[in-house]
Amino acid sequence: MLKRFSKKHFVIIGALIVIIGVWAISNRPSLQSEAQAGCQLHNVSGWAWSETIGWISFSCQNPEAPSSVDFGVDVYQQTGDFQGYAWSENIGWISFNSGDTSFCGSPNATLDLITNEVSGWARALAGNTPESGGWDGCISLSDPSGTLYGVTYDLPNKEFEKFAWGDINVGWIDFNCKEDYTEGNNCSNSNHKVALDLSITPPPCPNCNPPGPGGPGGPGGPFSCELVADPTYIPFFGLKETELTWQIPANATCSTTNWNTPTAPSGSEDVLVPFNENDYLTQPTTYTIACDDNQGNTCDADDTVQVLSPPDAIVLLSYSCTSEALNWNVQYAENCTTSNWSANIPDALPGPESGSTAIPNLSPGTYSYSLTCNYVDPSKGQKTATASVTINDDGACSSVSSTTTTPKFEEI
């Protein structure tokens, strides 16, 4: 068997320095091994290497990987999307699931099946926790500039190559010994690689198990729930909808408020935000999830979405002495009526709606015109715009415009 010499490493998490004493595994077994008991067949296998955190196992089929839980990483041939978890004995679970990596950036971890280039993100789940000192756990699989680094796929040999980057806490991650970041071709010292066989059909995504030992929801790991709504403030006009993103323990019994209980341990779903026609001032909706594994472990999470109050109605009316016409503009208002003139004013929800009505050949005198519209919120009454026009004996024209609000009073 091939060996990698022992090395001592350090992980820096934000301002917190934790000496984790990582030593490379000597006499590391080859990639071919018998599957661990209960381990499903995943189409990604093998080991990656980081000078900072040591070996990273991509399948429960690898020897010395945790055998108490089915885990692994898969690439779906139809889309090139990654799914699943890799394992590091020093920082725990590394997720390739979009529900875990979405806040790192976009796109999600994906293999371009034409260019054979990998893009997107993975994330160490030990990051973004109270103990991580501000470290988010994000691992970039490709350099945005396309020049410094990036994982690629060697299709003829069915193996990944080159590097990913995990900031100072994880450092460079070598996917193949042929291109060790610090030592070049290092296969004579350690014949490691991450392999991908697209002829293997991966398990369905809903059955991809989340982390076991040392990971959220698994034995020995924190039992936690996450729920995030985006956006949290919904405009009054338009589709009242938000996206809920969740992460919950596997095999737990969960209940929800104001949305359907999810069937997958992580994911996102667009949900409609309810609206109360009788309350235009406060429109909060709180979405919750609570989970229980029937073994004494519980967790819950929530997020609140607020429908914004409608904007103030805009009702404008003016007379142009030049064009001899009334010009009107309406926004955030409805059920408009006119006085001393006639026009078809459509509801402006949200609008704006505008137009012009000709009133030519006025005789000397003073004329008053008005436009009255209802607020969207019926408790606010009405808004009226007026235009006063004066025609002198010599034909000179002048006009004045104003807008007033008429509150709605209710008897007590």
Which of 307, 333, 362 finishes a domain? 307
Distance between CA atoms of residues 337 and 328, nearest Å: 12
Token pair, residue 79, equals 């889309």
- Contact (CB, 8 A) for 92 and 20: no
Residue burial 239-252, b: 16+ Cβ < 10 Å; e: rest: ebebebbbbbbbeb
Whether residue 332 sits in one domain with residue 289? no
Residue 220 lies in a domain: no
Residue 286 lies in a domain: yes
Whether residue 115 sits in one domain with residue 182? yes
Whether residue 233 sits in one domain with residue 189? no
Residue 48 lies in a domain: yes
Q: Is the pTM of this model over 0.85?
A: no
Instruction: Give the position of tokens 């970041």.
Output: 181
Residue 398 lies in a domain: yes
Whether residue 327 sits in one domain with residue 272? no
Non-local CB neighbours of 410 within 8 Å, separated by 6+ positions:
none
Instruction: For the chain, 412 residues long, give each residue's pLDDT as a single digit of tens.
Output: 333 433 333 333 333 323 333 323 333 333 333 334 467 788 999 999 988 888 999 988 876 655 556 788 999 877 888 988 998 888 888 999 887 887 788 778 999 988 899 999 999 888 776 666 677 889 999 987 767 789 999 999 999 999 899 887 788 899 998 876 556 676 777 778 999 998 888 766 543 444 444 333 333 345 678 898 888 888 777 788 899 998 888 778 899 999 998 888 888 899 988 876 655 555 688 999 999 887 778 889 999 888 777 778 889 999 999 999 999 999 888 899 999 999 999 998 888 899 999 999 999 999 999 999 988 776 677 899 999 999 999 999 999 998 877 665 443 3
Structurally, the chain folds into a number of domains equal to: 3
Residue 202 lies in a domain: no
Residue 21 lies in a domain: no
Which of 288, 307, 326 finishes a domain? 307
State the pLDDT at residue 256. Answer: 94
Which amino acid is located at 236 in the chain?
F
Whether residue 368 sits in one domain with residue 239? no
Whether residue 96 sits in one domain with residue 78? yes
Which amino acid is located at 245 in the chain?
T
Q: Which domain holds residue 123?
A: 44-196
State the pLDDT at residue 174. Answer: 92
Whether residue 281 sits in one domain with residue 176? no
- Residue 237's Cβ-count burial label (10 Å; 0-12, 13-18, 19+) is middle
Residue 357 lies in a domain: yes
110-111 vs 92-95, strand pairing mode: unpaired
Mapped onto helix, strand or coil, the DSSP state of residue 364 is coil
State the pLDDT at residue 270. Answer: 92
Whether residue 191 sits in one domain with residue 48? yes
State the pLDDT at residue 341. Answer: 94
Residue 412 lies in a domain: no
